[in-house]
Amino acid sequence: MLTMKKVASFEVEYFQYLNADSQVVAELPSFAQNAADLIPFYREMVLTRLFDQKAVVLQRTGRMGTYASSEGQEASMIGLGRAMRREDVLFPTYREHGVYFARGVSMTEIFTYWGGNESGMNFSRVPDDFPVCIPIATQIPHAAGAAYAFKYRKQARVAVAVCGDGATSKGDFYEGLNAAGVWNLPCVFVVVNNQWAISLPRSKQSVCQTMAQKAIAAGIPGEQCDGNDVIAVYDRMDQALRKARSGGGPTVLEAVTYRMRDHTTADDASRYRQQEEVDQQRKRDPIMRLKKYLVEQHAWSEEQDEQLLSEVGADVEAATKEYLDTPPRPPHTIFDCLYETLPKAYLEQMSQLSKQGEASHE
């Protein structure tokens, strides 16, 4: 007789505390019970947005290279960056500027990198954090490797890999998750699902209901949160980090958000997505959501907001000046951090570039 039994079952939970109308929809975690304690989150989200707007202006006026805007994703970035400890290590994509800021990386360092000078990635405050990763998903197995090292050395550190919805279709994503699961590594994988992978919408990326459930195949828990609710992102990140740090193993956290601007300054999103969709998503804006809540709780006012905008605006201007005042590095230095011993073919190219550099100074 044929008998059927269930051999596995799983579920994916969704977390949200502050909905799109700034209403509290679940009991707030302790760090968020006093609204005034959320002001530092708000400040960093505002800073990230003003930085972002300036970076696009610098690119458009020929003073910076291609740039990937993070507008709309501030709650995901600041929630996760603030939850991490300084000794944890970040493995980001090219769009996580706010996570770096929350970790104490300076705006000048980030401008410097996007201006074509890799020394901007030599972070003074978090020197172990990894640089921007352009190849999609390759940072995920790197994070698993670092987490293995932390475990081997018995260090209470967590490797945090951040990737996009598109990256979850790469083999590297699953390979990293699988290794982390098998070795029970101190790792958190954050999928910032911003609904688009350049021109490919989420609906064509994968037919699975959530990106978080991709964790299940690797035997690790996956959960989803409202990526535009900074309380939810911080809370879930904090839980996942604590678990990883105390030997409880890896977690996948999907933060559902939206990419408000073009993929990068080299893209024109109006060629593949409708303005109505973008307008609709504006109503979920993470910064407006938190501001409205703070004002309603009498923890914030329009006057304080104006003051903040002018202070942070001045900080962005000061960082811009510092970046623009830094002379470009000589072209041959692009070879400096490639190999311990530079192959012969590159040696020749490097000496050619050095000679050109000397000639142009004569």
Ligand X SMILES: Cc1ncc(C[n+]2csc(CCOP(=O)(O)OP(=O)(O)O)c2C)c(N)n1
**What are the residue numbers of the active site?**
259, 263, 272
What is the SS3 assignment for 303? helix
Residue spans of beta strands (DSSP E) within the chain: 14-15, 89-91, 159-164, 187-193, 196-197, 200-201, 222-226, 251-256
- Would you say 81 or 186 has its CB closer to ligand X? 81
Q: Which does 167 bind (CB under 5 to 8 A by kind): ligand X, Mg ion, none?
A: ligand X
343 lines the binding site for ligand X (CB under 6 A): no
164 lines the binding site for Mg ion (CB under 5 A): yes
> Residue 359 and residue 362: Cα distance in Å, rounded?
5
Residue 315 C-beta-side C-alpha neighbours within 13 Å: 18
Binding residues with ligand X: total (CB under 6 A): 16
- Would you say 165 or 229 has its CB closer to Mg ion? 165
Beta bridge partners of 89: 159
165 lines the binding site for Mg ion (CB under 5 A): yes
Of 79, 141, 166, 221, the one binding ligand X by CB under 6 A: 166
Stretch that binds Mg ion, among 49-57, 189-197, 290-298, 306-314 (CB under 5 A): 189-197
Of 135, 201, 247, 343, the one binding ligand X by CB under 6 A: 135
76 lines the binding site for ligand X (CB under 6 A): no
Stretch that binds ligand X, among 81-89, 116-124, 154-162, 191-199 (CB under 6 A): 191-199
Q: Give the closest residue to 254 by CA, choosing from 204, 203, 189.
A: 189
CB within 8 A of 254, min separation 6: which ones? 190, 191, 193, 210, 211, 212, 222, 223, 224, 225, 227
141 lines the binding site for ligand X (CB under 6 A): no
Stretch that binds ligand X, among 28-36, 100-108, 181-189, 194-202 (CB under 6 A): 194-202
Provide, rounded to whole angstroms, the least separation between the CB of residue 338 and ligand X: 19
> Residue 17 and residue 242: Cα distance in Å, rounded?
20
139 lines the binding site for ligand X (CB under 6 A): no
Stretch that binds ligand X, among 21-29, 130-138, 225-233, 271-279 (CB under 6 A): 130-138
Of 73, 76, 106, 194, the one binding Mg ion by CB under 5 A: 194
Of 48, 106, 108, 194, the one binding ligand X by CB under 6 A: 194
Number of neighbouring beta carbons within 10 Å of residue 172: 19
Of 137, 144, 190, 197, the one binding Mg ion by CB under 5 A: 197
**CA quadruple 163, 167, 169, 172: dihedral positive or negative?**
negative
Provide, rounded to whole angstroms, the least separation between the CB of residue 198 and ligand X: 5
* Residue 146, phi then psi, degrees to nearest 5: -65, -40
- Would you say 165 or 235 has its CB closer to Mg ion? 165
Q: Three-class SS string for 85-115?
A: CCCCEEECCCCCHHHHHHCCCCHHHHHHHHC
167 lines the binding site for Mg ion (CB under 5 A): no
Instruction: Report the interhelical angle of 74-83 vs 286-296 (nearest 10°).
Output: 70
Of 25, 26, 36, 134, the one binding ligand X by CB under 6 A: 134
Of 41, 123, 189, 196, the one binding ligand X by CB under 6 A: 196
Q: Give the closest residue to 296 by CA, choosing from 93, 58, 21.
A: 21
Q: Which residues of 89-112 are buried (b: 16+ CB within 10 A; e: fewer)?
A: bbbbbbbbbbbbbbbebbbbbbbb
> Residue 108 and residue 117: Cα distance in Å, rounded?
11
Residue at shortest CB range from ligand X: 164
171 lines the binding site for ligand X (CB under 6 A): no
Angle at 167 between CA 162 and CA 171, to 5 degrees: 115
Q: Which does 84 bind (CB under 5 to 8 A by kind): Mg ion, ligand X, none?
A: none
Number of neighbouring beta carbons within 10 Å of residue 286: 29
**Chain positions contacting Mg ion, by CB under 5 A:** 164-165, 194, 197
**Chain positions contacting ligand X, by CB under 6 A:** 93, 95, 134-136, 163-167, 194, 196-198, 259, 263
